[in-house]
Amino acid sequence: MTLEEVKKLISEKNIKSIDLKYPDLVCNWYHISFPVRRLDYVMQQGIPFDGSSIPGLKSVESGDMILIPDLNTAIVDPFLETPTLRMLCYVCDADSRIGTKKDPRSVAKRAQEYLESTGIADKSCWIPEFEFYLFNEAIINNGRFSAGYSFTSTENKEDLPGSYKDIDGTAVANRKGYHIDIPFDKYVHVREQMVQLIEDIGCPVRYHHHEVGLSGQQEIETEMIDFEDISDKMMYIKDIIHNCALENDLTATFMPKPLYDEPGNGMHFHIQLRKKGKNLFYQKGGYADLSEEALFFIGGILKHGRSLTAFTNPSTNSYKRLLPGFEAPVKLFFGLANRSATIRIPKYATSPETKRIEFRTSDGTCNYYLAMSALLMAGLDGIKNRIMPTRENGYGPYDDNVFSWSEEQQSKLHAIPTSLEEALQALEDDHQYLIAGDVFNEELISSWITEKTKEVLAVRNRPHPFEMNLYYNI
């Protein structure tokens, strides 16, 4: 949008306030609001703030930062009573007005510019899959003398809230929740509300449904959208899901593994590269009709797969989802329609327009800007260095369930890290592919490892509730 177009929207919707939003390094959201009359001034001068107050954002060379609104992200806020216009911002150094080294949106912008500079492609297109739980109650307690949590769902007969009697008998047990129908899919109306708001911000939804987890697990999937647009839209989508849940007396979580021995929440990414409108991943006759560029792209992601998890699976909880026996992949290989693979080639995407790859390891605790930029950089590194996965030992393609293989066969496969600590070490050892074109930088990577190590230590240093079962009476 141009400034004049934004002003026209302000007039049409009788906007009174403008709310600027931006993420920190690990993707927590922050905001600051101002009266609409100050728009011209803010567009010229930005909004100054103290970067040292935002975890992970302060640069070594400067603590004074400014927010520069991005007019292209303007939407009418669907939740506030006061008519408000939302915009996302770039976090810039106060003197240069250039996106800082550690501003996630600026990293994504640099990734797009780097893609164009290589001449390989001019755009990448993505489909994100949002998996999340809707709980009726989320009671969480962590103190010095007590710790624990409790989640409940009126959909699961074994997980009902204490005051809920299930007098209509619609709570279910002893079955999976995948595509479960009304009336047992109790929150379809909430998903419909979410989807309508998502479409209202210009993001087309492919479909939505109940997921496998019977205690309210949901999925919303968009259509294929350009990288720059979808990375911003994903931030709004996550916000819509949280706020719609609260408006319906529910609580939403994207946590990868909130429930023991129940399905986890992933954040699968479907990816393709395009140049002058042509899908570069399609070539009739090859394996799964994939082009050489597609195979090289896959090779780059698999080759750097262990370090990538530091951005695509950046929580201690991520590695409780990534366990053998579930659909979450734990081995670095690719295959056609194989849900145990890190990279799955959707069998139904057969045309030159739809051919794509699906990265299945990632989850919703990732910073979308950083995770998607890292995946793009790894794939481009594969194309630049002609990393052919079929010539690399253990990368596939494998079209069968590798969990049915013998231990000796499985040992020949490359494994993803088993903990966040291991992933961070992999990132420290392998990150040169991210620094190409100054997309990422040593300062950002160092800060990321520092911030995430704090989380590792915070979890490691606390007694776990199940340790009481194991050791209290010893």
* pLDDT bracket for residue 7 (50, 70, 90): very high
Instruction: Return d(Cα 457, Cα 279) in angstroms, integer.
Output: 44
Would the pLDDT of 430 be above 60?
Answer: yes
**Pairing outcome for strands 137-142 and 147-152:** antiparallel
Would the pLDDT of 160 be above 80?
Answer: yes
- Catalytic residue set: 50, 129, 131, 211, 219, 268, 339, 358, 360
> What percentage of residues in the chain have a pLDDT greater than 70?
98
Instruction: Return d(Cα 107, Cα 370) in angstroms, integer.
Output: 7
Task: Return the pLDDT at 202.
Answer: 95
Cβ partners under 8 Å of residue 292, min gap 6: 283, 286
Instruction: Show the domains of the chain with their CATH numbers.
Output: 3-100 (3.10.20.70), 101-122+276-474 (3.30.590.10), 128-265 (3.30.590.10)
Would the pLDDT of 57 be above 80?
Answer: no
Task: Return the pLDDT at 439.
Answer: 98
Over the range 250-277, which residues count as b (16 or more CB within 10 Å of their CB) and which as e?
Answer: bbbbbbbbbbeebbbbbbbbbbbbbeee
Instruction: Return d(Cα 396, Cα 423) in angstroms, integer.
Output: 22
Task: Return the pLDDT at 60.
Answer: 54
Check if the beta carbon of residue 254 is closer than 8 Å to that of residue 151.
no
Would the pLDDT of 18 be above 90?
Answer: yes
Check if the beta carbon of residue 327 is closer than 8 Å to that of residue 339.
yes
Would the pLDDT of 91 be above 60?
Answer: yes
| Residue 101 in tokens | 């080294």
Instruction: Return d(Cα 1, Cα 6) in angstroms, integer.
Output: 6
Check if the beta carbon of residue 387 is closer than 8 Å to that of residue 296.
yes
Instruction: Return d(Cα 178, Cα 182) in angstroms, integer.
Output: 12
Instruction: Return d(Cα 215, Cα 185) in angstroms, integer.
Output: 10
User: How do the residues of the chain divide into helix, strand and coil, expressed in percent and rounded to 5?
Assistant: 35, 25, 40
Check if the beta carbon of residue 223 is closer than 8 Å to that of residue 127.
yes
* pLDDT bracket for residue 119 (50, 70, 90): very high
Mean pLDDT of 438-451: 96
Would the pLDDT of 39 be above 80?
Answer: yes
Mean pLDDT of 7-12: 97
Check if the beta carbon of residue 448 is closer than 8 Å to that of residue 56.
yes
Task: Return the pLDDT at 61.
Answer: 53
Mean model confidence pLDDT for the chain: 94
Mean pLDDT of 364-385: 98
Would the pLDDT of 62 be above 60?
Answer: no
Instruction: Return d(Cα 145, Cα 147) in angstroms, integer.
Output: 7
DSSP string, 373-436: HHHHHHHHHHHHTT--GGGSTT-----S-GGGS-HHHHTTS-B--SSHHHHHHHHHHS-HHHHG
Task: Return the pLDDT at 146.
Answer: 94
Answer yes or no: pTM beyond 0.75.
yes
What Cα–Cα distance (Å) separates residue 376 from each residue in 42, 124, 242, 314, 379?
Answer: 33, 8, 28, 17, 5
List Cβ<8 Å contacts ≥24 apart for 337-343: 337/399, 338/398, 338/399, 338/400, 338/401, 340/401, 340/402, 340/403, 341/396, 341/398, 342/301, 342/302, 342/305, 342/416, 343/298, 343/301, 343/302
pLDDT in tens, 204-240: 999 999 999 999 999 999 999 999 999 999 999 999 9
Over the range 170-184, which residues count as b (16 or more CB within 10 Å of their CB) and which as e?
Answer: ebbeeeebeebeeee
Instruction: Return d(Cα 173, Cα 160) in angstroms, integer.
Output: 11
Residue 54 DSSP code:
S
| Residue 247 in tokens | 């408006």
Residue pointed to by tokens 């609409």? 36
Would the pLDDT of 378 be above 90?
Answer: yes
Q: Report angle CA 462, 465, 470 to the nearest 5 degrees.
A: 110
User: Between residues 298 and 404, which one has the greater pLDDT?
Assistant: 298
Instruction: Return d(Cα 260, Cα 417) in angstroms, integer.
Output: 20
Task: Return the pLDDT at 56.
Answer: 78
What Cα–Cα distance (Å) separates residue 334 from each residue in 318, 324, 339, 418?
Answer: 21, 16, 9, 19
Mean pLDDT of 334-355: 93
Task: Return the pLDDT at 93.
Answer: 86
User: Between residues 58 and 156, which one has the greater pLDDT?
Assistant: 156
Mean pLDDT of 340-361: 95
> What percentage of residues in the chain have a pLDDT greater than 90?
87
Would the pLDDT of 409 be above 90?
Answer: no
